[in-house]
Chains A and B, each alone.
Chain A
Amino acid sequence: MLEIRGLDAGYGDLKVLWDVTLDVREKEVTAVLGPNGAGKTTLLKTISGLIKPNSGEIRFLGKEINKLKSFERVRQGIVQIPEGRQLFPQLTVVENLELGAYTKNARKRLKESLENVFQLFPILKERRNQSASTLSGGEQQMLAIGRGLMATPVLLMLDEPSLGLAPKLVLSLFDTIKEINRSGITLLLVEQNVASALSIADQAYVLENGRVIMKGKGAELLNDPYVKKAYVGL
């Protein structure tokens, strides 16, 4: 579904990604793992169009999307849930969700999507008219995911969704992510919580210093000695 070939990208003179090649297959969960500063967020930002690649190719559903602007990529169904929630703090829960459905196609299905999100996260319905800044960390993450779902994504990219959550919340979060995937949405998951991410991932890539150093099936990588030693801590 998403094919990335020989991607080089960075910020100005600072090159972060080196010759990254990566595939996201339809209906699957693809995980990108790696330490801080490996370039995971840069990769997602480049796919979203917030960063222009220096070279390489990004194809989505068979079409090259390198030239498309961010909002055009969202219209195609590439939706990113950014790291650290990044809600609109002074807007209410409902307003945040509505903005998720800003594109024309998503707006047509606004009511339906809203019902779905409220079904997935009933607490958000209770808090619908509160401003987003008053939510707890876990609720904010639910809102961030809900806002992403409102865009009716084809490919949903999650950047460190477990960041800053209590261990118990992390477990239910990954259940939710799996549930979203089962509903037919393809996922690209960036995580530092390697064990949890690999447990739900079909395919996984390990990114270090801006290069893909390893790839394989989720379960395979979970048992890989290097991954175990470097990331799972066993």
Chain B
Amino acid sequence: MKSRISLPKSITSRLKLAVSIIVIAAICLSFYYYLGLRGELGNLPPILVSGILVGGLYGLVAVGVSIILGVMRVINLCHGELLVLGGFFTFWAVNFGLDPFLAMPIAFIILFVLGLALQSFIINPLLKYGLNPPVLVTFGVALAFQNIMLLLWTPDVRIIHTAISDINLQISGISIPMTRVVALLIALVLAYLTRLFLVKTFFGKALRAISQNSEVALLMGIDTSRVNIFCYGLGAGLAAVAGSLIGIVFSFSPVIGGPYMHKAFAVVVLGGMGNVIGAVVGGIILGVSETFASWLLGGGYTNAVAYLIFILVLIIKPTGIFAK
């Protein structure tokens, strides 16, 4: 049904944009004054910084979810468990005496191969039955992996220790753990490389082509099932690095995968499906909002804020904030 007064589409969309910018600006301004009244403006920079640092990690988890979702339309519900598994491999390699930053590429390769296997033997054969069976099977894989990890390696919380774990950077009065800075850098570099791969290489272009029209991609002579397999491997490998970084910056256990996957999904919705830059920016937005929420409302509210943002984006702009 059309409304009686119908504005041209370009005007209404601009109006929407203007209104949302004004609303966001108003929220930020009132927030700023509120802090000024309480005399806590000094807390703003460290919270912003720590939010950005955490957000980079969310972004990296989301990049993997995003390319898998973009190419196969499959929500990879076992992404969190792959992430934890990657954390375990790095953890063991470090215990074995390897430097964590050398262990990460190994974890990447192992998970990459595991991803290839999962896609070839479990997900690919189901893709022809529509989208529900492959999504459900990733849920099954998530349950199986989580419980196998709990059984084999106990629910203990583990931390990956590095040579730089105890170093703090002091920048104009703000103390920043060195590990978080390195983790952000690694996340950004990997996201950038992924984007470069998608834009510059033939294989990456094929990946994007499949995400836009998989049947025609077949007609171009693209072996879509092979590209799917590689894509899933790449997503799993990126998850392994993200899991390792989470183990270095925070800690991990077999059960943390789910929440990270949920947040990554919120970030993907925020940044747009298959959009690498969107995933990173979305991750940082989520990270900053969470840190602010936990500072203002208490730590228990961080997840609530993540899902609130998720729901709001779905209601207001379901194609993601960067979609044209």
Contact = CB atoms under 8 A, between A and B. Distances in A.
Answer yes or no: are A and B bound together in one complex.
yes
Interface of A: 48-50, 69-71, 74-75, 79-80, 82, 86, 88-91, 95, 98-100, 102-103, 106-107, 147, 151
Contacts of B99: none
Given A99-B205, A99-B206, A102-B206, A88 B212 contact: yes
Contact of B220 (A49, A90, A102): A102
B256 interface: no
Given A89-B212, A90-B208, A99 B222 contact: yes
Contact of B221 (A74, A82, A89, A90): A74
A82 B219 contact: yes
B305 interface: no
B219 A91 contact: no
B218 A50 contact: yes
Interface of B: 202, 205-206, 208-209, 212-213, 215-224
- Return the 10 tightest CB-CB contacts between A and B, nearest first: A74-B221, A103-B221, A70-B218, A88-B212, A86-B216, A71-B223, A71-B221, A102-B221, A88-B209, A102-B220
A75 B219 contact: no
Nearest to B199: A95
A48 B209 CA distance: 18
16 contacts: A48-B218, A69-B223, A71-B223, A71-B224, A75-B221, A82-B216, A82-B219, A86-B216, A88-B212, A88-B216, A98-B202, A99-B222, A100-B220, A102-B206, A107-B202, A151-B221
A102 B202 contact: yes
Contacts of B205: 91, 95, 98-99
B202 A80 contact: no
A50 B219 contact: yes
Contacts of B221: 70-71, 74-75, 79, 102-103, 106, 151
A89 B213 CA distance: 9
A102 B203 CA distance: 9
Most A CB contacts (10 A, CB to CB) among B205, B206, B219 go to B219
A168 B128 CA distance: 42
A103 B221 CA distance: 6
Contact of B222 (A49, A91, A102): A102
B220 A147 contact: yes
A74 B212 contact: no
A79 B224 CA distance: 16
Contacts of A100: 220
A27 to B, nearest CB: 23
A71 B224 CA distance: 8
Contact of A88 (B202, B208, B223, B224): B208
A161 to B, nearest CB: 15
A74 B222 CA distance: 9
A99 B220 contact: yes
Contacts of A89: 212
Given A90-B208, A102-B202, A102-B206, A71 B216 contact: no
Contacts of B217: 99
B216 A91 contact: no
B17 to A, nearest CB: 20
